[in-house]
Structure 1
């Protein structure tokens, strides 16, 4: 059955002069009703459902703006295109403020009108068709390149493209193609994990060709902002995946120029290691030397208690001089409100203000413990949506707007991402083994399936300090989480489908670092 023609209402006191336009639109398959005054137009809207209204702004009797208000009352969702002879900014601003879908200035050609109507009524379908066609072509190319030899740059570029395709397919409503994309991502993730297992030890031992790592974030990306008398805002949003970051861009781009780069988190991809590495510029062995007693794995919170001190020393080394440093960690709205009260004073002084926001990490961990959070953050798409909703109303976004208003650059990044884990992997261990689900250290520790874990007994590969009792280090690959054979069913029921971090996957390791400058 053929789809019903889209219904248009064209309102203009000179409607007889627009007959060629009406016939042109009818010839393109649209049903077009016409009205020469506001009262008739309102009555037609009351009696009929329209897909779009073309409305003259200057008419005798009821003005276009008055008719617009009445149309909004009768049908708030119908798109209205305002057509006027006036090119004054005031008229355009008022129309946009009243939520018109578009704005045309007379004289208009039939093709101008068709272009606007097509974009508003058919744009989603056309976008879906184009996206599907482009993805199908690119999918075949990427499928053929699966076994290509890649360096770290190519892995970053490929993962970035896969993330963009997921967002594009979602936006276009092409959910049917997402299964093909997920299959490709599974293959990519498997090969990426193998690449990291083979090359990570070279990166940490000083290989010339290695990706920027957590230890490089401050010297490579923040240091260029630390000139004499310069001010900078440094924001870390804990546990932010690349796809979550990309979902925030539409909020940031209207107020800031955004320059994005990608870097790799060190292993394990967990806050005690990755975020400490950012703030200190040190691997765990350097931290253990700098902070005797730090190396203990008693809990993530205690292991990050010295970030402010480490960051101050790191910036001084990088800048070659002492700089004022302000550091705050924000866990909840109360912390955020207090931070915002202090922020104007901090930003008025030269130096660096560093802010750590823990909401996304708390959300990611909390969904495992809360059935409510599990329901609302069921998958990647839901997690992105929640992240965007939080960010839009967050103190982080407010702080960025404050910096942009003052002309102060912002460096925004994260310490690690997370991976949606679906597969349990059995490990055999003694009682001294650490409790983390994506990485474990302990004596006589091994994975039942070696292909699902990166295992080593050489602490130098991970740049861990020597002398610890643990002799084995096991880090999960892909989307697995570790379980013990004695608690297999308990762990499967509790953690299957959780977003976890600490392991090896592109979602956890390939991370955004973005420079925001005022528009």
Structure 2
């Protein structure tokens, strides 16, 4: 193993001999020099792992040297060492991306800590994370054997996401594979839980979670007031793990007041779940009360073109007639930019609702486009791609403006999505719905073990296309495939992101409330 090479730049380097001997005993290779100019020349000739740089030197100052080093080798860690506690020096050094900032006199252990923090950081984090997960693994396995409530399932899923994000960058890929197997097992058990309990959630006086159709009344309305404008942001198709990678960015502008998980209704598809949020009704009630707005799977035309109408009716039904509100749906970059440009005009509303469709478009385009399929080949890549979009989106501009204008921010979604990996054969007639994660129609033939089946849709408050209609929902990471042209169909859709079925990823989703910093 090669020794770590350190360049130490200080005009009083002779006084630091004990520190250098200490590091050499720890197996670090240390080269020294006494000026910024000399340091620049050395760095042109040799490679180093890290630089210790004195701030106060004659000739080229430490800050000037730092600037030149960063121009040549931006990724080289530089630790600034100074006698001065002047704030402007700290700020300028930090602005130039220093790795650490130490104030003289420094002791050998401070130097060693800085080296480990900057050069051994990933190894130490990896080892500690692995050790911590190994301990947590047993607890998760025990929880998995006992979990039997919607609250406990939400908590367990949040725990799995936490560890998934912690483990995704560590060097021990074996641990990540163990977690993946725990997620698979969790989804199998969750499918059984939903099969046994979902229909009961709609019975009178039952203990039920907040769901799509109760979210607005129970969670959004209590947050809306005349004293502060509220921005309700519904990011379509946003999984819980994607929200968690957004969170640090939003935290730059807003302070989180509460975060809760709620459950998407079945099917976990936009036309059902999002319409349920805005109408405050289950699909069968939407069909009955608003036949002019509701479209069944086999009907012609767009299935979620009337969210604004549903919202208007719900606000009226809840007696919120004094609330000043507006609804916007963003389906492309141009619309997003336009709303961001005009965002200041929304401050006079009590409630502004923005549905942002990008994540949905991204997941669907993954099915259609080989480039996106390559970029989002697994959950880690999918999170990364979504985060990259978010950082450069008009949506982030809106969030920044909302903070400046003093808005309360509510962030949520209609359902999540799952990477489907295994086909399940299904046969239906020409009127069977097309979704890969759920089917509704007559005379469906399917693998019983693979699905949650509802032969009485009214029990799940779902509309029946005809008298003998039933619904089937794919469990875990399955997707439905027809026997004809089976191999082509399976290779085309395997490892794409779909929604509509029963999984932790699709059903357990975030509701988060923020106030501006």
Fold agreement, TM-score > 0.5: yes
Taking a change above 3 Å as real, the CA distance of residues 279 and 300 of structure 1, as seen in their structure-2 partners, is farther
Q: How does 1:239-250 map to 2 (within 5 A)?
A: 239-250=237-248
Report the equivalent of 2:315.
Answer: 315
String of CA shifts for 1:327-355, please: whole Å, max 9, x gaps. Answer: 11111111111111221101x21411111
Q: How does 1:225-236 map to 2 (within 5 A)?
A: 225-236=223-234
**Which has the larger displacement, 51-60 or 250-259?**
250-259
Measure how far apart 1:254 and its partner are.
2.1
**Which has the larger displacement, 50-59 or 14-23?**
14-23
Report the equivalent of 2:512.
Answer: 514
Q: Does 1:178 align with 2:176?
A: yes
Q: Does 1:53 align with 2:51?
A: yes
Measure how far apart 1:301 and its partner are.
6.8
Aligned counterparts of 1:285 and 1:85: Cα–Cα separation in 2: 72
Taking a change above 3 Å as real, the CA distance of residues 301 and 153 of structure 1, as seen in their structure-2 partners, is farther
Question: Does the Cα contact within 8 Å between 2:228 and 2:406 map onto a contact in 1?
Answer: no
Taking a change above 3 Å as real, the CA distance of residues 317 and 297 of structure 1, as seen in their structure-2 partners, is same
Measure how far apart 1:176 and its partner are.
2.4
3-state SS of paired residue (2:452): strand
Question: Does the Cα contact within 8 Å between 2:298 and 2:431 map onto a contact in 1?
Answer: no
Question: Does the Cα contact within 8 Å between 1:197 and 1:454 map onto a contact in 2?
Answer: yes
RMSD: 1.8
String of CA shifts for 1:185-235, please: whole Å, max 9, x gaps. Answer: 111100001100111101122453221111222223322221233310011
Measure how far apart 1:431 and its partner are.
2.3
String of CA shifts for 1:362-413, please: whole Å, max 9, x gaps. Answer: 1111111122221222121211111001100111111111111122111011
Aligned counterparts of 2:440 and 2:39: Cα–Cα separation in 1: 74
Report the equivalent of 2:426.
Answer: 427
Aligned counterparts of 2:73 and 2:159: Cα–Cα separation in 1: 40
3-state SS of paired residue (1:77): coil
Report the equivalent of 1:297.
Answer: 297
3-state SS of paired residue (1:486): coil
Q: Does 1:342 align with 2:342?
A: yes
Question: Does the Cα contact within 8 Å between 1:367 and 1:377 map onto a contact in 2?
Answer: yes
Q: Does 1:395 align with 2:394?
A: yes
Taking a change above 3 Å as real, the CA distance of residues 277 and 300 of structure 1, as seen in their structure-2 partners, is farther
Report the equivalent of 1:257.
Answer: 255
3-state SS of paired residue (2:342): helix
Aligned counterparts of 2:362 and 2:76: Cα–Cα separation in 1: 37
Measure how far apart 1:317 and its partner are.
4.1
Report the equivalent of 2:332.
Answer: 332
Report the equivalent of 2:71.
Answer: 73
Measure how far apart 1:466 and its partner are.
5.8
Q: Does 1:353 align with 2:346?
A: no
Report the equivalent of 1:464.
Answer: 462
Q: Does 1:411 align with 2:410?
A: yes
String of CA shifts for 1:12-46, please: whole Å, max 9, x gaps. Answer: 11222222222222233222222222222222222
Residue 212 of structure 1, aligned match among 201, 210, 233: 210
Measure how far apart 1:141 and its partner are.
2.9
Report the equivalent of 2:13.
Answer: 15
Report the equivalent of 2:365.
Answer: 366
Q: How does 1:25-40 map to 2 (within 5 A)?
A: 25-40=23-38
Structure 2 length as normaliser, TM-score?
A: 0.95
Aligned counterparts of 2:488 and 2:42: Cα–Cα separation in 1: 63
3-state SS of paired residue (2:407): coil
Q: How does 1:130-145 map to 2 (within 5 A)?
A: 130-145=128-143
Aligned counterparts of 1:250 and 1:91: Cα–Cα separation in 2: 27
**Which has the larger displacement, 54-63 or 145-154?**
145-154
3-state SS of paired residue (1:261): strand
Aligned counterparts of 1:434 and 1:56: Cα–Cα separation in 2: 69
Q: Does 1:117 align with 2:115?
A: yes
Aligned counterparts of 1:486 and 1:474: Cα–Cα separation in 2: 20
Aligned counterparts of 1:174 and 1:349: Cα–Cα separation in 2: 52
Aligned counterparts of 1:463 and 1:69: Cα–Cα separation in 2: 65
Taking a change above 3 Å as real, the CA distance of residues 300 and 71 of structure 1, as seen in their structure-2 partners, is farther
3-state SS of paired residue (1:146): helix
Aligned counterparts of 1:232 and 1:178: Cα–Cα separation in 2: 39
Aligned counterparts of 1:207 and 1:300: Cα–Cα separation in 2: 38
Question: Does the Cα contact within 8 Å between 1:446 and 1:474 map onto a contact in 2?
Answer: no
String of CA shifts for 1:36-64, please: whole Å, max 9, x gaps. Answer: 22222222222221111111111111111
3-state SS of paired residue (1:302): coil
Aligned counterparts of 2:300 and 2:68: Cα–Cα separation in 1: 58
Question: Does the Cα contact within 8 Å between 1:223 and 1:319 map onto a contact in 2?
Answer: no
Taking a change above 3 Å as real, the CA distance of residues 152 and 57 of structure 1, as seen in their structure-2 partners, is same
**Which has the larger displacement, 377-386 or 463-472?**
463-472
Report the equivalent of 2:439.
Answer: 440
Taking a change above 3 Å as real, the CA distance of residues 365 and 299 of structure 1, as seen in their structure-2 partners, is farther
Aligned counterparts of 2:46 and 2:443: Cα–Cα separation in 1: 76
Aligned counterparts of 1:150 and 1:370: Cα–Cα separation in 2: 40
Q: How does 1:147-226 map to 2 (within 5 A)?
A: 147-226=145-224
Measure how far apart 1:142 and its partner are.
2.4
Aligned length: 515
3-state SS of paired residue (1:150): coil
Taking a change above 3 Å as real, the CA distance of residues 232 and 176 of structure 1, as seen in their structure-2 partners, is same
Consecutive unaligned residues in structure 2, runs of 5 or more: none
